[in-house]
Amino acid sequence: MDKLKVADILSLTDFHRNSKAHLKRLRRTGRAAILTVNGKAEVVVQDAAAYERLLGRLDRVALAAREDPTGAATRKADVAKPDRPDESGKS
């Protein structure tokens, strides 16, 4: 999972004023953005495709956990199938 970057935290006002550019970045990077109001985190926005990949990854981890309660398979499933685009936006 990608680490949070300073560029991923922005004010709701900035997101609103520059939404086209921010949406383009969300699609390109696949990372979520944290929007703040008065300096406090209020909401997280994410590209729909990245969200779908996240849900798929969670489903695989949940399935592996049910199949192996010790957690060994869960760790394998989490590491074995990275499904997010690289920084260039390619899968």
pLDDT digits (tens, 9 = 90+) for 15-43: 999 999 999 999 999 999 999 999 999 99
The CA-atom distances, in angstroms, between 64 and each of 23, 46, 53, 55, 83 are: 33, 25, 17, 14, 16
72 vs 42, more confident: 42
Q: How far apart are CA 64 and CA 14, in angstroms?
A: 40
The bridge status of strand 40-45 relative to strand 9-11 is: unpaired
Please write down the long-range contacts of 46-54, taking CB distance under 8 Å and 24 or more positions apart.
47/23, 50/26, 50/84, 53/83, 53/84
Domain membership flag for residue 39: yes
Domain membership flag for residue 20: yes
Confidence class for position 7, pLDDT limits 50, 70, 90: confident
Statement to judge: residues 14 and 42 lie in one domain? yes
Compute how many other C-beta atoms are within 10 angstroms of the C-beta atom of residue 70. Answer: 8
Query: Structurally, how many domains does the chain consist of?
Result: 2
Domain membership flag for residue 21: yes
pLDDT digits (tens, 9 = 90+) for 57-68: 999 988 888 887
The predicted model scores a pTM of 0.65
Give the mean pLDDT of the chain. 82
Region of residue 60 (left: phi > 0; alpha: psi -120 to 50; beta: else): alpha
Q: Domain limits at 13?
A: 6-46
